[in-house]
Structure 1
Amino acid sequence: MTASTVVESGTANHAIVSRDRWIAERKALLAHEKELTHLHDRIARERRALPWVRVEKRYVFDTPDGPRTLADLFDGRSQLIVQHFMLGPGWDQGCVGCSYMADHTDGMTVHLEHRDIAWVAISRAPLVEIERFQRRMGWKFAWVSSNGSTFNHDFGVSFTPEERERGEVYYNYDMQAFPHEEAPGISVFYKHEAGEVFHTYSTYGRGVEVMMGAYHMVDLTPKGRDERNTAMEWVRHHDRYELAPSKKAAASAGSCCASHE
């Protein structure tokens, strides 16, 4: 085919070129990818250089092994990553987007543990509701309840009725409208040898995409994320995908947690 040849496909009219032309354009893209890699490395260094905040408040969580403090959740390690999982009291099921993130977790925890990192999901729902949904989804990772504490609110992922009535809440380091009582996020903590715990980092909104390995794999494909209305509109709980999903169904739903920058 010549450089001007076009193929009709579901990805719209796409140019078809010679291999030499493709290599030239691919190398131009590679230069941009290298820029992104170097920028990612620089931001990672800046992230590690952030100052820390001592966690003064004593948080206690309901866990399958009984009450545990934040320091206990490190499970003998010095670093802790928390997924703020959107599952509020009385919810029938967890947020679709948070569930999509959690689908990536069980396979990576052994690798994190060998990098001195503990991982836990924390939700405001009571433990019995967490465990019911966890059994449905077949997950094995650690998941505890912050119900009865201010942990979720203090780390910017739960909002009081009064805050929501004002029309804006403080989320992702700014005042903004947010449609839910719970929000997604990831927080990181460090515990030194004396047992003191420090908050080192949190990310919200699209920052949580760092946990979505499959999302990044989708970005490699010709169709990409194929999202036209809202972010993650095609994502479902993994036990709710249709065998032959219709385009109409895919366009009608979206994640509750990934539409905010």
Structure 2
Amino acid sequence: MQPHKIVSREEWVAARTDLMVREKEFTQAREALSRERRELPWVKVDKDYVFDGPKGEITLGELFKGRPQLVVQHIMFAPEWDAACKHCSFWADGLDRTVAHLAARDTTMAAISRAPLAKLEAFKRRMDWTFDWVSSGNNEFNFDYAVSFSREQMDKGEARYNFGTTPPYGDELPGISVFYRDETGDVFHTYSTFARGLDMMNAAYQYLDLTPLGRHEEGLPYPMDWVRLRDQYQPAPVQASCCHS
């Protein structure tokens, strides 16, 4: 870390207050953007998606659990993989304690991946997760919502990730999609976000952004190279004492 300017408490408060003006502007801009997000038009879901769940087959409409809103976390887990993507798991680690709060606001959370249910269940036990997680291995859901791409799409350069703004770097990619179910049972796709649009949903990153070192990803082969599955981090080395006996 580069040497940092050290000031009195009074100077720090003045500098912090100046920065807060920018933070308030950012908050207001974020609130305005959220309003625009809610005002987006919807697309009716015409396909009858059926997923493989712990209690058998379950439809997209049934995933709502009687609530009007459904947030889907697209967790990267291809059928041939033995574990979910470590980066998606970084996000998924924060889902369990969020589910109850979302439910209190008429919103259900579920994860969907293409891997067979047996693999999802085994990995879920390993990670000690309890959120709903179903397999879309027998339908086109992941492909239709642009988080999975066929080999043909990849070879022909036809894969369009993040609405064509981000080059796809694999045939399985992360995302979040949102759906609404009306009183007649019709389901509508209202929103999706991908790539850096997922940052705001990762609490660990938001906390790191408050610290002097930030995400501390400079110099890595790629920004998230440091991330591991939660049970794969090595214990932090003990810092040497500055004093000797």
Scaled to the shorter chain, the TM-score interval is over 0.9
2:93 is aligned with 1:103: yes
- Partners of 1:116 and 1:70 lie apart in 2 by 16
- Partners of 1:184 and 1:207 lie apart in 2 by 10
Q: 1:245 to 1:75 in 2, by over 3 A?
A: farther
> How many residue pairs are counted as aligned between the two chains?
236
- Partners of 1:152 and 1:114 lie apart in 2 by 28
Structure 2 stretches of 5 or more lacking a match? 239-245
Displacement, 1:176?
Answer: 4.7
- Partners of 2:237 and 2:2 lie apart in 1 by 20
2:239 is aligned with 1:233: no
Which secondary structure state, in structure 1, belongs to the residue aligned with residue 29 of structure 2? helix
Aligned to 2:65: 75
The C-alpha deviation readout for 1:157-215, integer Å capped at 9, x for no partner, is 00000111124520000165322211100000000000000000000001112221111
Aligned to 2:28: 38
Displacement, 1:152?
Answer: 0.2
Q: 1:176 to 1:164 in 2, by over 3 A?
A: farther
The C-alpha deviation readout for 1:47-105, integer Å capped at 9, x for no partner, is 00011100011100000011111001001100000000000101121111110101001
2:181 is aligned with 1:187: no
Aligned to 1:253: none
2:42 is aligned with 1:25: no
Structure 1 stretches of 5 or more lacking a match? 1-10, 247-261
Aligned to 1:118: 108
Q: 1:53 aligns with which of 40, 43, 59?
A: 43
- Partners of 1:155 and 1:202 lie apart in 2 by 8
Aligned to 1:251: none
Aligned to 1:243: 235
Equivalent residues of 1:167, 1:177 under 8 A apart: no
Letter in 2 for 1:212: N
Q: 2:56 aligns with which of 66, 80, 89?
A: 66
Letter in 2 for 1:172: N
2:162 is aligned with 1:162: no
Equivalent residues of 1:190, 1:200 under 8 A apart: yes
- Partners of 1:210 and 1:60 lie apart in 2 by 30
Could you state the TM-score of these two structures normalised by the residue count of structure 2?
A: 0.93
2:113 is aligned with 1:129: no
The C-alpha deviation readout for 1:201-230, integer Å capped at 9, x for no partner, is 000001112221111011111111000132
Could you state the TM-score of these two structures normalised by the residue count of structure 1?
A: 0.87
Letter in 2 for 1:231: P
Which secondary structure state, in structure 2, belongs to the residue aligned with residue 165 of structure 1? helix
Letter in 2 for 1:199: H
- Partners of 1:171 and 1:242 lie apart in 2 by 34
Identical counterparts, % of pairs:
51
- Partners of 2:26 and 2:4 lie apart in 1 by 25
Q: 1:33 to 1:166 in 2, by over 3 A?
A: same
Report the RMSD for the aligned CA atoms in angstroms. Answer: 1.4
Which secondary structure state, in structure 2, belongs to the residue aligned with residue 129 of structure 1? helix
